[in-house]
Structure 1
Amino acid sequence: MTTTTAAQDDVPASRSRSAGLLAGGGGIAATMVIANGAFYALTMLSARLLGPAEYSALAAAMNLLLVLSVVSLGVQATAARRIALDATHAQEIEASVLRLSWRTGLGIGLALVVLSPLVKELLRLDDLSPALWLAAATVPSTVVGGYIGILQGERRWRDLSLLYLAASLRLPVGVVLLLWWPDVVTALVAVTLAGFLPILVGRHSLRNTRSGIVSMHRRGIRELVSEAARNSQALLSFMALSNVDVIVARAVLDPHEAGLYAAGAILSKTCAILPQFVVVVAFPSLASHTERIRALTRGLVLTAAIGLAATLGVTLLRPLALSVVGGGEFAEISADLPAFTLLGTCMAMVQLVVYAVLARQGRRSTWLIWICAAVLVLGGSTAATAQSLLVWGLCVTTALLVVLVATSFWIVRRPAPADDADSASDTTSGALDATNATAAPTH
């Protein structure tokens, strides 16, 4: 298979690339922490300025935005995997990925404009303005995935770090706008405007990519779109699982209880996204069968360590943690804050396993995630308090994590090239040779 050839080329550098998870990832880890910290600092500021009832509307909108970002993540994963396995055709892949990113971003934005009345009713918004700004925010959040995936696949950690630093500028933009006019629409305007900053950095980093000159073979483009769609569907299952709880809270709990859960969810989302650098740095190694066992093991250990440290910190500094998520108005949720951090840690570990599945182009595990998301919704719909919804979400996520980890290690330890019983095949972008009209992806 083409994958075997690509993997063999990687063998001499296998150890050094795997070591990048702990060493080379230091810079990208710091900048991702800054970027994600800026995002959640803006979220926390919004909670303080808006209060429980109005903040729950913003939290539901932001979680819907995260769910919609699966297309961006699907394109990112596709670009990173294909470039990591076939660097010789990186320029063809880059040009097609950027074109695909812009077209899908604009398409999703326009679709949400049309569906804005439905979004208004789903999120129980007062008017259409937040729904329309949510549609606008999806454009940059979708487009940026293409730039991230290209830099990730080429392991250009310095350029990727600069992109994430640009993303952190959403905090000062949001602070200025919210202090001027604190409401849901203002927060979404800040997210939209700041979303274009990392795109500008990405365009500068890839300024030598000549999309008008370099192009992939038409069949190769179809395969790129097909893989991106499969990846997006898999990531949609995870995003639905990890964000549907806040939407369920908004739908079934009274506004006060929903606001309490949304505030606690700030911690769970923070703990879920804090070790995200592990996924970014490990993903190229997870795509190679010679490196994926080591990368997955180290990634899970590092993610769990970060999460447990965060849980211990929240337990010991609970008053400080409460002040971070919103202050005295949310005191009723104080005792449950460590459980929220554990929930976020489980989600982070599930996310790493999901990306390991994408890296080997597995498919069957996705259905298990969808089933768990449905179970979370069905059980959560009977919840009467924020605490009961939290307990149910923690039970479902923990059970899913145990099954996925066990299944993934059983699969990846099987000999290559038949190590992916979970997948239809372990395709590589090496078959996407734009210079050979007969070349096509191996399936």
Structure 2
Amino acid sequence: MNRSTRATVSSGSIVAVAMMVMNVATYGFNLLAARQLVPAEFGALTALLSLTLIANVVALGLQASIARRISVRPGQTIQIVHTASRVALALSLLVGLATALSSPILTPAFSFDSVWAVIWCGAMLVPLTLAGAQLGVAQGTGRWGKLAALYLGNGFGRLFGGLAGLAIEPTATNAMMGLAIGSWLPVILGMGLLKATGGGDAHSRRPLVFETVTSASTLLAYFAFSNVDALIARGGFDAHDSGLYASGLILTKSTLFLPQFVSVVFFPSLARDSSHRTRLRAVGLVALLGVAVVAGAAVLPKLALILVGGDQYAEITGDLWLFAVSGTFLAIVYLLVFDALARREGGVAVLVWIATATVFCVAYFNRIGIVGLVTTMAITAAALSAVLLVWPLIRRTPEPKQTEVTEPPVP
């Protein structure tokens, strides 16, 4: 093993451990919330978190855009960071305010008890968007230790903040208040990443904003797809079944988030030079981790039940492995979406929106129940994974290095 390979393995290990700890902390909060909240309140919290995930596409798009631009133009890092700091501040305030202002519409649509639940979602998105820009700088410059610290701050900030909110009163609204406050921890830990001297006039922001919007639109399609079943369950099931489905989604999200370190570590290299062989190796690694979770849920369903909330959700014990299958294919789709962002592949968002519409039409209008909904998600995600895997071969997109020549330089 040469020095470069050892460095890649080492950096990947650091980020992988940090992201796994972050996901364990996030899972810990979901598990404790499921135990403290009645099923109806937990269903509301799950829907709120799904809305936050969807709106958080701006942060993820900003992270991907900054990381890609720094990776392909390391000599212009100072200028890129200078521009990114201004764009991040503006976008964070815009996204947070837009979400908060949507509370009069979303509150009755999803049967939330108070408009404050959605307002706290908007407040949470401000630090999440700022942290996304910080993550992009750390990822693009290869500061893996700093990147790991930000992920840890994200996980523990949400864990302790959310639990503090529940300690005041066990409601979905209070949980969101605590999460909004705790989400500032990674921003504090990342102070200094967005500070840079150098040029950059108003026009230099436009390419970054344009790429962020493009990336965010693709990620919006993905998060709409990966959360459409949670929203259908909240709007189409009764409060009890919605809570049961939300409990199963703990396993789905855990299976989805477990292998996300693969896309984070490989993203900069994919932006510089992607190959189908690399893509297949990454998909294989994600699939292997997913199969392990599915097998565990199938062989030890009672243990899986403990991990998703306990005896009050016992009705779905025998179906938990299906939630793990859904999470596995969603994780593969997630990896392939970021691979497309690294190569600036077009058409992916349309494919994902088609998958979302498919799930909605099949599940919402037919009232197919808990097992039917999770099975529909799993089958659709599997089909989408197969299409995305061969999509670059069908389109025969040039390598990113060639497309960078035609892109205007960052001032």
TM-score after normalising by structure 1: 0.87
Q: How does 1:275-354 map to 2 (within 5 A)?
A: 275-289=259-273, 291-354=274-337
Match of 1:94 in 2: 81
Structure 2 Cα separation of the partners of residues 227 and 260 of structure 1: 39
Q: By how many angstroms is 1:185 displaced?
A: 1.5
CA contact (8 A) 2:161 2:180 kept: no
Structure 1 residues 17 and 292, CA gap change in structure 2 (3 angstroms): farther
Match of 2:178 in 1: 190
Match of 1:47 in 2: 34
Work out which structure has the larger RCO, using CA pairs closer than 8 Å and 6 or more positions apart in sequence: 1
Structure 2 Cα separation of the partners of residues 361 and 117 of structure 1: 36
Deviations 1:45-69 (A, max 9, x none): 1111112111101100000000000
Q: 2:358 aligns with which of 375, 382, 387?
A: 375
Q: Please give the secondary structure, in 2, of the residue aligned with 1:362.
A: coil
Structure 1 Cα separation of the partners of residues 405 and 15 of structure 2: 26
> Which amino acid in the other structure matches residue 139 of structure 2?
Q
Match of 1:9 in 2: none
Relative to its length, the structure with more helix (as a share) is: 2
Match of 2:370 in 1: 386
Q: 1:167 aligns with which of 142, 154, 157?
A: 154
Deviations 1:217-272 (A, max 9, x none): 44432111111110000110101100111001111111111111111011111111
Structure 2 Cα separation of the partners of residues 296 and 16 of structure 1: 23
Identical residues among aligned pairs (%): 33
> Which amino acid in the other structure matches residue 229 of structure 1?
V
Unaligned runs of 5+ in 2: none
CA contact (8 A) 1:133 1:192 kept: yes
Structure 1 residues 95 and 428, CA gap change in structure 2 (3 angstroms): farther
Q: 1:229 aligns with which of 213, 222, 230?
A: 213
Match of 2:385 in 1: 401
CA contact (8 A) 2:345 2:392 kept: no
Deviations 1:337-363 (A, max 9, x none): 111111111011101111111111111
Match of 2:188 in 1: 200
> Which amino acid in the other structure matches residue 68 of structure 1?
A
Structure 1 Cα separation of the partners of residues 281 and 153 of structure 2: 29
* 2:50 is the counterpart of 1:73: no
Match of 1:122 in 2: 109
Deviations 1:324-380 (A, max 9, x none): 111111111111111111111101110111111111111112211111111111111
Q: By how many angstroms is 1:132 displaced?
A: 1.4
Deviations 1:73-111 (A, max 9, x none): 111100010000001101111121122112111111112
> Which amino acid in the other structure matches residue 171 of structure 1?
L
Q: By how many angstroms is 1:397 displaced?
A: 0.9
CA contact (8 A) 1:36 1:273 kept: yes
Deviations 1:172-194 (A, max 9, x none): 33334323421112210121111
* 2:6 is the counterpart of 1:25: no
TM-score after normalising by structure 2: 0.94
> Which amino acid in the other structure matches residue 250 of structure 1?
R
Match of 2:223 in 1: 239
> Which amino acid in the other structure matches residue 308 of structure 2?
V
Q: By how many angstroms is 1:168 displaced?
A: 2.4
> Which amino acid in the other structure matches residue 58 of structure 1?
L
CA contact (8 A) 2:83 2:204 kept: no
CA contact (8 A) 1:300 1:352 kept: yes
CA contact (8 A) 1:76 1:147 kept: yes
Q: By how many angstroms is 1:429 displaced?
A: 10
Give RMSD over aligned pairs. Answer: 2.1
Unaligned runs of 5+ in 1: 1-14, 435-443
